[in-house]
Amino acid sequence: DAGVTQSPTHLIKTRGQQVTLRCSPKSGHDTVSWYQQALGQGPQFIFQYYEEEERQRGNFPDRFSGHQFPNYSSELNVNALLLGDSALYLCASSTTGPLSEAFFGQGTRLTVV
Amino acid sequence: GENVEQHPSTLSVQEGDSAVIKCTYSDSASNYFPWYKQELGKRPQLIIDIRSNVGEKKDQRIAVTLNKTAKHFSLHITETQPEDSAVYFCAEEGYSSASKIIFGSGTRLSIRP
């Protein structure tokens, strides 16, 4: 079991560009959540996907969007990148239902220049 | 709104001594309190968790206590070792199939030889 895998591991983009990050959940997991972790801070919840729909969303602008595919993998899209979007983006997968342990991927380090 | 406060932000202890990290939360509906360890450049990993119907839980050198009335929970690491050096995050999660994890700001723990 490869666990949660994310791609790419590192990415450099220019301000104003768009980026797509990808996540494959742990085998048997059907729920994917995305988090943004700025340097020196705790992860901040962006949104969660289940059954190909956004189920819950954190306090992030509409520039942040996502998608979940039938195989439960997920994408995070960020449009009109700002310098402040530079962060580690973490994907976490879990099974649906309360108090399900979340497993994190290694993250994608996004740098906006 | 949902918020988790974590103290201290940095902690340095002598190898073999104990380390304590404290957190407070605001959401009375929270029922699950995980603790994550994040080593430099790596993913957050769950090290211990506690549910709202339990006051204390121990796993070898790590223990967590929860006071739901005061909305406090703490991580205790005894007999610290060099490999305990990392950033530790407390977190809380509500009782819902769409639960999101709210993280504290993190504690950078350093173990002095």
Over residues B39-86, the pLDDT tens digits come to: 998 999 999 999 888 899 999 999 999 999 999 999 999 999 999 999
Q: What are the Cα distances from residue B49, in Å, to A21, A62, A88, B75?
A: 29, 33, 24, 10
Q: Looking at residue A93, what is its pLDDT?
A: 94
- Cα A77 to Cα B48: distance, rounded to the nearest angstrom: 32
- Length of chain A as a residue count: 113
Residues A27 and A89: beta-carbon distance below 8 Å: no
Q: Is the pLDDT of residue A1 over 70?
A: no
Over residues B79-105, the pLDDT tens digits come to: 999 999 999 999 998 655 557 889 999
Distance from CA of B80 to the nearest CA of A (A): 23
Residue of A104, A106, A108 to mutate for B, most B C-beta atoms under 10 A: A104
β-sheet bridge partners, residue B25: B4
Q: Phi/psi of residue B83, each to 5°?
A: -70, -5
CB atoms under 10 Å from CB of B67, counted, come to: 12
Question: What percent of chain A is modeled with pLDDT above 70?
Answer: 96
Q: Flag if A33 and B51 touch (Cβ within 8 Å).
A: no
CB contacts, 8 Å: A101 with chain B: 34, 46, 49
Task: Please give the DSSP secondary-structure letter assigned to residue A84.
Answer: G
Residue A101 contacts B, CB cutoff 8 Å? yes
Over residues A69-112, the pLDDT tens digits come to: 999 999 999 999 999 999 999 999 998 766 678 899 999 999 99
